[in-house]
């Protein structure tokens, strides 16, 4: 069976060595030494001044919206994982969907200004598939209209934009370290900001608003993560360069197969070094996608329709008309991509797709 992704697992002994330390200290959670060590090593690896390790990427989005005091309307993309939109609504705001660019599948920055109203307080954009948005355009729109900018960078571990980690951009960037992501801590996530004051607020929010055992600086939530999750992150961090390198090779191999008419591949941001977190292919029609999916599944290969449906068509999410996102969402398929996936398996997958498309 070939699933769309398989979590990376470090050698068991590496994880066990961290767990033995946890047993000795009897310190399981609440900002323990491994959480601190992971935060330090991540800052070093990403070359960023501030970050907080959190329980997941969804709470990271909620805390970002809360910390920036966003209210009213938030401009966002309909082409993302559901958590991007649901966290806006969960925080009492209203998502306003702006259509996507048909080549990058990121929010179309040229359409943002037309969606701004007196009620708009911020922009929440996703760097889809680890491919940076038009960051310069979004930043200048934000500055011109005094809107806060949050990036959902859940797919972006290892992606560079203009030579820096893409997590460095926006008022706040968030990420996910969920088991399905390129770098993971089983469950987990993080917030990033260059603003030290904002970081302090986020740190209060993460820990119930506690400022000492019996003082409260803010209205917080439980966004903490545990020593066990930090141990997985520390174990995996040793392999991240290897993982990124193999992703690049696997994506190059896929790209060779799909470099022919009938398939559209993502246009990657030219100012970036992307992490190849996913391998999406856009097929000519939904009927062809369903046929390819069926033929792959008959061979026990399970691609995923990331992201379908367009969030702008979900009844509970303040639906609106974003024709490009709706059209693309019907035709895009993510093929299997994970560390253990072999060259032979990629060839096998591609041969089935080509046969399905009558090549």
- Judged by the rule CB under 6 A, the positions of this chain that interact with ligand PLP are 56-58, 80-81, 83-84, 126, 152, 154-155, 176, 178, 189
Nearest to ligand PLP by Cβ — which residue? 57
* Min dist. Cβ of residue 81 to ligand PLP (A): 4
User: In terms of CB distance, is 134 or 152 closer to ligand PLP?
Assistant: 152
Give, in degrees to the nearest 5, the angle at Cα 60 between 176 and 139. Answer: 95
**For residues 32 and 147, is the Cβ–Cβ distance under 8 A?**
no
* Element spanning 282, H or E: strand 279-282
Bond preceding residue 309 cis, omega within 30 of 0: yes
Q: What is the DSSP string of 150-208?
A: EEE-TT-TT-EETTEEGGGSSSEEEEE--TTSSS--SS-EEEE-S-HHHHHHHHHHHBT
Give rounded-to-5 percent helix, strand, coil for the chain.
45, 15, 40
Can you point out the beta strands (E) in 7-162?
A: 51-54, 73-76, 94-97, 120-126, 148-152, 160-161
Residues 126, 61: Cα–Cα separation, whole Å: 11
* Min dist. Cβ of residue 303 to ligand PLP (A): 16
* Min dist. Cβ of residue 51 to ligand PLP (A): 15
Residues 35, 233: Cα–Cα separation, whole Å: 9
User: In terms of CB distance, is 2 or 153 closer to ligand PLP?
Assistant: 153
First CA to last CA distance, the chain? 24
User: In terms of CB distance, is 84 or 104 closer to ligand PLP?
Assistant: 84
208 dihedral zone (left: phi>0; alpha: psi -120 to 50; beta) = left
User: In terms of CB distance, is 155 or 247 closer to ligand PLP?
Assistant: 155
User: In terms of CB distance, is 126 or 207 closer to ligand PLP?
Assistant: 126
**Taking the CA of residue 203 as centre, how many other CA atoms within 13 Å lie in the half-sphere pointing to its CB?**
15
User: In terms of CB distance, is 257 or 268 closer to ligand PLP?
Assistant: 268
* Min dist. Cβ of residue 318 to ligand PLP (A): 18
User: In terms of CB distance, is 148 or 184 closer to ligand PLP?
Assistant: 184
User: In terms of CB distance, is 155 or 201 closer to ligand PLP?
Assistant: 155
Strand partners, 152: 126, 174
* Min dist. Cβ of residue 321 to ligand PLP (A): 22
* Min dist. Cβ of residue 357 to ligand PLP (A): 28
Closest CA to 53 of 29, 73, 72: 29
* Min dist. Cβ of residue 181 to ligand PLP (A): 6
* Min dist. Cβ of residue 270 to ligand PLP (A): 22
């Amino acid at each position: 069976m070939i699933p769309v992704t398989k979590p990376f697992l470090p050698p068991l002994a590496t994880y066990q060595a961290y767990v033995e330390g946890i047993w000795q200290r009897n310190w399981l959670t609440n900002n323990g030494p491994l959480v601190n060590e992971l935060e330090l090593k991540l800052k070093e690896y990403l070359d960023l001044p501030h970050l907080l390790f959190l329980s997941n990427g969804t709470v990271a989005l909620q805390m970002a919206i809360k910390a920036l005091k966003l209210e009213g309307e938030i401009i966002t993309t309909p082409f993302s994982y559901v958590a991007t939109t649901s966290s806006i609504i969960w925080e009492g705001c209203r998502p306003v969907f702006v259509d996507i660019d048909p080549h990058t599948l990121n929010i179309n920055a040229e359409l943002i200004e037309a969606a701004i109203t007196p009620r708009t307080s911020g922009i929440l954009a996703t760097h889809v598939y680890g491919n940076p948005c038009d960051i310069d355009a979004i930043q200048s729109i934000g500055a011109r209209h005094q809107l806060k900018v949050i990036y959902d960078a859940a797919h972006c571990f290892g992606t560079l934009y203009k030579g820096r980690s893409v997590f460095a951009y926006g008022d706040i960037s968030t990420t996910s370290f969920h088991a399905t992501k390129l770098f993971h801590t089983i469950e987990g996530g993080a917030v990033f900001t260059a603003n030290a004051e904002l970081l302090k607020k986020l740190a209060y929010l993460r820990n119930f608003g506690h400022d000492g055992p019996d003082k409260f600086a803010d209205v917080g939530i439980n966004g903490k993560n545990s020593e066990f999750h930090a141990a997985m992150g520390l174990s995996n961090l040793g392999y991240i360069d290897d993982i990124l390198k193999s992703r690049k090779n696997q994506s190059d191999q896929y790209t060779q197969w799909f470099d022919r008419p009938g398939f559209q591949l993502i246009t990657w941001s030219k100012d970036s070094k992307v992490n190849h977190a996913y391998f999406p292919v856009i097929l000519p029609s939904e009927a062809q996608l369903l046929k390819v999916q069926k033929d792959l599944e008959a061979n026990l290969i399970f691609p995923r329709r990331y992201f379908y449906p367009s969030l702008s068509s979900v009844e509970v999410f303040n639906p609106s008309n974003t024709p490009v996102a709706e059209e693309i969402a019907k035709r895009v398929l993510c093929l299997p991509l994970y560390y253990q996936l072999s060259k032979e398996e990629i060839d096998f997958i591609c041969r089935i797709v080509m046969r399905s498309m009558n090549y």
